[in-house]
Amino acid sequence: MDAQELISLKKDLHLPDIRYYLMIGSTNDTAMHWSREGAEDGCMVIADTQTEGRGRHSRKWQTVPGTALAFSLIFRPRQREKANIALFSPLAGVAVCDALIRGWNLTAKIKWPNDILIHRKKVCGILVETAWDGEEPVAVIVGIGMNIAHNSIPPADEMQFPVTCIDDEHGQPIPRYEILKMVVNTCFEWRKDLAKPEFFQYWQEHLAFQGEPVRIIEDGKTIVYGKQAGILPDGRLEIITENNVKIGITAGDLHLRPGK
């Protein structure tokens, strides 16, 4: 991104400030540090190359130069949002899904709790981290990593789940920063509806593997098997077991996989 593109991006996104890096360890780490220095609500950190990006369970997410999007948004939770801090992760998922569908008619789905799939392959990962002052959430860092060009797809031996990229699914290249602008603006649109019925309805309607057999895995072992029934009002995933028992699953050190 050159200086003119950065000026254009700031104009199009209407964010308080954007910090852009050619190379960075982790956009989330930098955004968290910036939040402690007083970054305003809506500030963004973005990097062309990310060498120490993280997914859930401390998995590394490396970004090859010029092929992907790696950025983090800083939110200062408003009073009504503080009771729904856990919903910032699905907020990002809903925004990415909605942006890809509306912008490029891609068949995006949300894999609970925080991945975006196209044709059952992962195209985007989300990592949300919260800064606390005692029991008060003072900043929420929403990190988003998206595979855009084909070279962003990691080697097969590094994949734990099938992976794809936007350009392959769309059939032709899309400028990375057009996707960035659409996703960020959509995120702030959906923020207005956080925890409202329409938010949960969209999440539910675009949930991957809905009504299908799924497994919940912990430490490499299946701990719950059953049919995915949808999202509960508190954001947990409901599974109906083979014995017709309804179980609410909380996101944590767990994995969701389709099938037996």
CB atoms within 10 A of CB 76: 16
Asked if residues 208 and 114 have their Cβ atoms less than 8 Å apart, the reply is no
Query: pLDDT at position 154, please?
Result: 84
What is the total count of domains within the chain? 2
Six-digit token string for 118: 């196209």
| One domain, residues 60 and 122 | yes
Q: What is the pLDDT of residue 5?
A: 73
Q: Assign residue 69 the CATH number of its domain.
A: 3.30.930.10
Residue 61 to residues 126, 154, 249: CA-CA distances in angstroms? 10, 9, 25
Instruction: Report the predicted TM-score, pTM, of the whole model to 2 decimal places.
Output: 0.93
pLDDT at 19: 94
Q: According to the model, what pLDDT value does residue 254 have? A: 82
pLDDT at 242: 92
pLDDT at 260: 66
Please check whether residues 178 and 200 belong to one and the same domain: yes
Residue-level pLDDT at 91: 98
- Percentage above 70 pLDDT, the chain: 94
Query: Does residue 78 sit in the same domain as residue 199?
Result: yes
Which residues in the chain land under pLDDT 50?
57
Which residues form the domain of 93?
3-205
136-147 vs 237-241, strand pairing mode:
unpaired
